[in-house]
Structure 1
Amino acid sequence: MHSINFNEGTTMSASVIQFFYEAMKSQDPAALATSLADDVVIAEPSALPYGGTTTSRDEFFQKVPGWLNQFSTWQFVEGEIFGDGDRLAGLWSAVFTAHASGETFRYQQFERYEVRGRAISKVDVYQSDTQGLIDFFKKNGPAW
């Protein structure tokens, strides 16, 4: 397991989110798992093929990364964290690259977080262009 490093001047909750972003950027599944509570609730837009609400870390890993890895790579580009206390928000961008066509899709995602202890306990996800992401999946991904 990985430990969370706390930066001077950063709240513990913000450090948890920063660690989550670093785990996404490095594509380290063990670190990503460490940043999420066992019973994390993650609500994705229901129109996405992996959309809806997951209610555990294991369910999230089976549903979201499992589906995405079938047809694309994914790269975290940058992120910013807002707020303090145990409820925060983040805005980040990433790029999908389709395995078959090489086509890329860059998007931004806004997330609301709740942190419990040293892990994220809830995430509400909002994409800036959900329809664009759906169109990219339909063009480049497996049928759903």
Structure 2
Amino acid sequence: MRDTNPDSLDTTEDRPMGRAMLNGWRRRCPCCGSGPMLSGYLTVRSNCAVCGEDLSHQRADDGPAYLTILIVGHILAPSLLAVYTAFEPDPLVLASVFGVATVALSLFLLPRLKGVMVAIQWAKRMHGFGIESA
């Protein structure tokens, strides 16, 4: 049975996952959605500059890189096959175009997927995100 006292904090209930993931995709704080989550290309700030949420608990590690490889590979591998069979371009042109596309898509997705992974950890109260400071 849930406690109906508004003063008590229920730290077992998950935070809103969809909003947090959208904020993470935008590279914003998963809590307030206003402050920037990243201080560099992939460096997560220790605290949100707007709401003060502690983001130092995140443990994204290699997850965003694996997801980036998975997504880029699943998008560009079939595209490479389709372009080659339909147009039969020169191999150097094909390698150049798809090489640039691979790098560009990877650079676009990597920080956004890191933001999403940090936001999921925040929403699920993983790795210390559920500990409320006294």
**TM tier, shorter chain?**
under 0.3
TM-score by length of 2: 0.28
The structure where helix makes up a greater share of residues is 2
Higher relative contact order (CA 8 A, sep 6+): 2
| Greater C-alpha Rg | 2
Which protein has the bigger strand share? Answer: 1
